[in-house]
Amino acid sequence: MSKTIAIIGGGVSGALVVLNILKQSHQAIHILWFDAKNSFCKGLAYSTDEDVHLLNVRASKMSVFVDEPNHFMDWLTQQQLPFSSNDFVPRTIYGQYVLSTFNELKESSSTVKITCIAEEVTAITKSGDEYVVSATKENQVQQVVLAFGNFLPAHPRSIHTDFQQSGRYFQNAFSSFIIKQVINQESVLIVGSGLTMIDVVLSLKKHNYAGKITAISPHGYLPQSHIENPLPVVAAYINEQSPYTLLQLFSLVNQQLKYAKSNQLSAHSVIDALRPHLQRLWLGFSLEDKQQFLRHLRHKWGVARHRAASQSIQVVNELLNTKQLELIRGRVYDIKTNITGFEVQYSDRRQNNSLNTSVLINCTGPESNFEKVEFPLIKQLLQANSIRVDALKYGIEASVNGKIATNFYTIGPPLKGILWESTAVPEIRVQAQQLALLLIL
């Protein structure tokens, strides 16, 4: 007798679980895979059609399978696509890769049946030892995986809120309507200066937008660029057996950065050497350490850790040099709607300022506090106490392997508060492999 698993979310988090079940299972399993937007295997991140939107991880590290590190590179070769292992491949191609891998494994599997359901799940309730997943009909399943991915960002803080209903405001920076709305407007304000801002700027440049582009963020940081010809790397410096407090780790990293600078070594390698240890280190921090990190170091870490392809940064720098793009350090505190667009008021720590813009695009980063996410399913699960927000309000309270309750799991971004590094394919594919093994037992 086969068992039925419900996977909620059609993006890459859900896809990696499905792929690993298809690859590893030798028993009869029926997967009900739900995605209201019908973007299975791609989700928000990889549904873009813009070839200027690139992965921010090199192709050699983007296989969907932990135990097949060359899987993506082999697929690129089979498709006769001209990318090397060091290239940053367009995200639209990566979405095609995930979908192609899914279709191939689905067709070859004799034991796993997949039913893709393009409907919104509105409730999940316990029924004895099983669960009832409610969409247009009720579905009885034995196991559930919440693979939500990233949510849209919270609206910018503002005294006035009517801007949220304006057709010139975009909460979704990847909306297909942005270019049509923006192309003939005089000015664009992007709230946020991270990787999503870079994607928007690249799209505007590709479509020959001639107006003024302004980006504003509290710290005014831009992502760093991956270095094409890196300096020699630092030696491994993290003791795998030792726990660290936040202060100890911060001091150690600063020492290594100074050493790298004085010895002409790669500063980026100092950060990269941390990555294999990050989840263990985060799990060892006290709650106070984690809260202190979020208050004081999160933005600096984001700049150092989440780097962009050099060709993307080059375009941004060109626009900065020609003054078409301006980067402002400031906190938005009010947005007023007017005839021509918006009047945005902000503080730069010394005084209050304002600027006018025709279009407003939100690139502040995904909402992580589930208590603020406006989804019926999440509201139902919270109200039923089926899920709880973690202590940091950065995701869902769960064990390290994603277990929320018996036969009830999550993966990827909802584990950010538990593991911190839980949003990129290199980490999520490890979770997916391990979770698939739990599900098929």
Residue position matching structure tokens 């009869």: 28
Residues 6+ apart with CB under 8 A from 186: 211, 212, 358
Domains, the chain, in order of start with CATH, read: 3-151+367-440 (3.50.50.60), 162-224+307-362 (3.50.50.60), 246-305 (no CATH)
Q: What is the pLDDT of residue 430?
A: 96
pLDDT value at 431 more than 80: yes
CA distance 301 to 423: 14
Q: What is the pLDDT of residue 1?
A: 66
**Cβ-contact 43, 101 below 8 angstroms:** no
Residues 6+ apart with CB under 8 A from 176: none
pLDDT value at 233 more than 90: yes
Among 295, 158, 271, which Cα is nearest to 219's?
A: 295
CA distance 231 to 260: 10
Question: What length is written for the chain?
Answer: 441
Q: What is the pLDDT of residues 48-92, one digit of tens each?
A: 989 999 999 999 999 999 999 999 999 999 999 999 999 999 999
pLDDT value at 300 more than 90: no
Q: What is the pLDDT of residues 340-372, one digit of tens each?
A: 999 999 998 889 999 999 999 999 999 999 999
Q: What is the pLDDT of residues 405-426, one digit of tens each?
A: 999 999 999 999 999 999 999 9
Q: What is the pLDDT of residues 183-196, one digit of tens each?
A: 999 999 999 999 99
Q: How many CB atoms lie within 10 A of CB 167?
A: 8
